[in-house]
């Protein structure tokens, strides 16, 4: 069964500092990988996705993530955090398939606090 682990429940960084959120997955083959962000009281917004090809993917709001097959990781990074980045971040994994729905498996989330 596939699983996703986000080892950091809560991270606090100062505005302007760099950020790395960790995500490790367990899956039998190379999956599709996603990062979503959830602002308070809102739904989930897709930040970025990895399907194949270049292992460093760029997303919205200046975020990037790197797929490392050997480490089964897909960590999210941002060089300089803004106060508006305070939110909860979810990593998700999904199987490569076609023609029918396949569920995504989500991590338990990392809450990001940004200090002024």
Partner 1 sequence: NAGVTQTPKFQVLKTGQSMTLQCAQDMNHNSMYWYRQDPGMGLRLIYYSASEGTTDKGEVPNGYNVSRLNKREFSLRLESAAPSQTSVYFCASSDTSTGRNIQYFGAGTRLSVL
Helices and strands (DSSP H and E) totals, the chain: 0, 12
- Residue list 92-111, contact with partner 1 (CB under 8 A): 94, 96-104, 106-109
Distances (CA, A) of 8 to 24, 51, 109: 11, 24, 8
Asked if residue 45 binds partner 1 (CB under 8 A), the reply is yes
- Select the residue interacting with partner 1 from 40, 43, 53, 116 (CB under 8 A): 43
φ/ψ (deg, to 5) at 62: 80, 10
- Select the residue interacting with partner 1 from 2, 32, 66, 73 (CB under 8 A): 32
Instruction: Write down the residue that tokens 């989500």 correspond to.
Output: 106
Q: Give the interface with partner 1 as residue ranges (CB under 8 A).
A: 4, 9, 32, 34, 36, 41-46, 49, 51, 90, 94, 96-104, 106-109
């Amino acid at each position: 069964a596939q699983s996703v682990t986000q080892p950091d429940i809560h991270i606090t960084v100062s505005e302007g500092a760099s950020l790395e959120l960790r995500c490790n997955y367990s899956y039998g083959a190379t999956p599709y990988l996603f990062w979503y962000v959830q602002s308070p009281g809102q739904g989930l917004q897709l930040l970025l996705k990895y399907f194949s090809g270049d292992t460093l993917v760029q997303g919205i709001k200046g975020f990037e993530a790197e797929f490392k097959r050997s480490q089964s990781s897909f960590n999210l990074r941002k060089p300089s955090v803004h106060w508006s980045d305070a939110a909860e971040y979810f990593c998700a994994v999904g199987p490569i398939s076609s023609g029918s729905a396949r569920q995504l498996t989500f991590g338990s989330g990392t809450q990001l606090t940004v200090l002024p």
